[in-house]
Structure 1
Amino acid sequence: MKYALLPTLITSGLLPVASQAALIATENFDYADGSVVGQAGGTGWTYERTDEAGAPLQTPSNWNNEFGTHQIVSSALVTNGGGVRREFGGVTEGAGSASNEREGAFRGTGTMFFSVSYTPTTGNQWAGVSSYDFSGENAEKIFWGAPGGANGGNFFGIDAVGDGQTNSTIPVVTGQTYVLIGMLDFDNDLLGLWVDPDANDTVVSHDVSRAYTGGNWSTSLRLASGNQVTWDNLKVGTSFADVLPIPEPSASLLGLAGAALLVRRRRL
């Protein structure tokens, strides 16, 4: 679902504004139907965590093909035996010095959070979000979602690639839409996953957690699946609050917003 009315409500002062200082990027996949490869919409994707001497001026990174089948359908991303990836920082890619991708990287320190809407339309297959250490073979380091292997994509969990899985008892129900929040906390050596977080959730209330002492970098996120999955409303930040989804306002709240705006106009 989209949140088109939120800017108006926030501007009018009818909804609280969370701190956005550490928000790295958002993506609602508002593109025409077709390939997402090369698209550079959303907000952010120009993150500069470290100043890389000689790197060009930041312009937003774009979506890269990783493998298989993926496309935009009705302003959402659909993957089906395929995946796409986008860097946190800028259009200039590469593990070598003086690239935007290096500037935006979490270099084995700090904390990265993401949230995303996830709807599996076929079952019994892996699907999830991966943190990459640049690109290429063995670049995928951490996987949040419905891991494959012995889990078979049937329960939500975390896979520290090459180091094992930690799975929950929360089943993946075909056709149901979930909100997933993932955490990579280098400073506290911890991975976390929340499934459908609510107002009572905090940064320590994850549904799944796993110790992690990897010193790799995190430069980008990949959305991918072995089955058909619809993705939407992706956010990336450096705090739990940054990526919490804001629900669509109720009809009564919208009515209150309209009345307040009308009163304000009459007073001007």
Structure 2
Amino acid sequence: MAEGTIVLYSDNFNGPDSGSFDAASPPDGLRVGGAVAGPASYLQSFGQQQGILGAQLDMTDGGGLRFGPETSRFDWAAGSTGGDILGAGGIKVTFDWIHSGTSTEWIAWKVGTPNGDSGVNAGEVDHALLIRQSATGGGETNERWDNGANQGYSGVAHDSAAGTHAVELVYTFGSFADGTDVNLVATVDGVRIVEDTFTWDNNGGSLFMELATGTTENFVDNLVVSTVPEPSVSLLGLAGLGCLLRRRRG
């Protein structure tokens, strides 16, 4: 992790194989970690029961994982967690995405969801990024939804070969208040696939998040939610030097 980063939640899914994620061995220090890991935030299935297979999250069509119980989901904006996130200027999500290489379906991360189950295209969801493969070559890559409105495909290609791919989502913002602009930069294997700006809407200052899928051919591993990295002292020094040089030139 970069300097100043706080790991808020992590799950390596290193549990016994189970067709029921919620019934798998209870999270512990060997599987789940981070500053907010606990019964109120533990990942649980929604829509369809998810599973664990080969020490990876085995995703099931039409469902996904949420943080915390249904209707009392973990609020990332509450308490010291919200303070840590705002203090750093945002939140970062990383995970390994493992797929067969033949699916035209997707895996999605949703932010600003309601405190209850919803689809990626629901009007209550502030932003849903569907990382798509395009096995047909039709450009159906990286679809985005904003409060139920389809924002289209980014069209930026990423490696769709079978295997493991590193996903990183960085959301930067200065407040949890409705109407606040949020900037998203998403990468797959280091390739920047999406740059979006949207707003928090109808959340009342709360923040709920979910992982979803539309296929049974997706696996996820090494999920980490953290604060965004703080600028290093050296970078801040260079920024200050740049300002000083501009003043002198002026």
Bucket of the pairwise TM-score, normalised by the shorter protein: 0.5 to 0.7
Please tell me whether the aligned partners of residues 28 and 42 of structure 1 are also in contact (alpha carbons under 8 angstroms).
Answer: yes
Q: Deviations over 1:233-256 (max 9, x none)?
A: 111011147xxxxxxxxxxxxxxx
Instruction: Provide the rounded CA distance (Å) in 2 between the counterparts of 1:152 and 1:221.
Output: 27
Aligned to 2:127: 142
Aligned to 1:159: 145
Aligned to 1:25: 9
Please tell me whether the aligned partners of residues 180 and 194 of structure 1 are also in contact (alpha carbons under 8 angstroms).
Answer: yes
Please tell me whether the aligned partners of residues 17 and 52 of structure 2 are also in contact (alpha carbons under 8 angstroms).
Answer: yes
Residue of structure 1 aligned with 2:225, choices 233, 236, 239:
236
How do 1:1-268 residues align onto structure 2 when only pairs under 5 Å count?
Answer: 18-19=2-3, 21-34=5-18, 35-37=20-22, 39-40=26-27, 41-44=31-34, 46=36, 59=39, 61-68=41-48, 70-87=50-67, 94=72, 103=78, 110-121=89-100, 122-131=102-111, 132-137=113-118, 138=122, 140-146=125-131, 154-163=140-149, 164-171=151-158, 173-187=160-174, 189-197=182-190, 206-215=192-201, 216=203, 217-240=206-229
Please tell me whether the aligned partners of residues 153 and 172 of structure 1 are also in contact (alpha carbons under 8 angstroms).
Answer: no
Please tell me whether the aligned partners of residues 90 and 172 of structure 2 are also in contact (alpha carbons under 8 angstroms).
Answer: yes
Instruction: Provide the rounded CA distance (Å) in 2 between the counterparts of 1:86 and 1:31.
Output: 18
Unaligned stretches of 5+ residues in structure 2? 175-180, 231-250
Q: Deviations over 1:5-64 (max 9, x none)?
A: xxxxxxxxxxxx7436422111100111002125434102627xxxxxxxxxx6452222
Instruction: Provide the rounded CA distance (Å) in 1 between the counterparts of 2:77 and 2:72.
Output: 7
Instruction: Provide the rounded CA distance (Å) in 2 between the counterparts of 1:170 and 1:92.
Output: 35
Instruction: Give the TM-score taking structure 1 as reference length.
Output: 0.61
Q: What is the CA-CA distance between 1:156 and the residue it aligns to?
A: 3.1
Q: Deviations over 1:218-238 (max 9, x none)?
A: 223324233410100111011
Instruction: For residue 81 of structure 1, give the secondary structure of its aligned residue in structure 2.
Output: coil
Please tell me whether the aligned partners of residues 126 and 153 of structure 1 are also in contact (alpha carbons under 8 angstroms).
Answer: no
Please tell me whether the aligned partners of residues 117 and 178 of structure 1 are also in contact (alpha carbons under 8 angstroms).
Answer: yes
Q: What is the CA-CA distance between 1:102 and the residue it aligns to?
A: 6.3
Alpha carbon RMSD of aligned pairs, Å?
3.7
After superposing the two structures, state which structure 1 stretch, 75-84 or 161-170, moved more. 161-170
Question: Which amino acid in 1 is paired with 2:72?
Answer: G
Q: Percent identity?
A: 16
Q: What is the CA-CA distance between 1:212 and the residue it aligns to?
A: 0.8
